[in-house]
Amino acid sequence: MAGTALAAGVLTVAATLSLGLAVVGGAAVTAQRTAGAADAAALAAADAVSGAVATETDPCALAARVAAASDATLSHCRIDGLAATVEVKSAYAGLVAASRARAGPPEQS
């Protein structure tokens, strides 16, 4: 009887740890996907501003479309000359991942 209770306890702890690790792993993957979405959105906006991509769409609207294609939401977009700075957010299991990216010519020192 004691062995059965011990085995049940060990299985409960193992299941809880496995679930926790799965959530942490999923959050890490979401953070990386969010960073990629931010990079792509910033590049799209900067390309639209510089004329590298022929579009009549507002650069921030284009960045929002690119972010949405990665299941993320554009929360901030700023165009400064030929540079674009964006912030993108996405959620996983109640956790929100946010990432910022900048694209454009190098900043002047």
Q: Is the pLDDT of residue 108 over 80?
A: no
pLDDT tens by residue, 55-70: 888 999 999 999 999 9
24 vs 64, residue with greater confidence: 64
pLDDT tens by residue, 82-100: 999 999 999 988 889 999 9
All structural domains of the chain with their residue ranges: 2-103
Q: Are 38 and 100 in contact (CB under 8 A)?
A: yes
- Structure letter (DSSP) for residue 108: P
pTM, two decimals, is 0.80
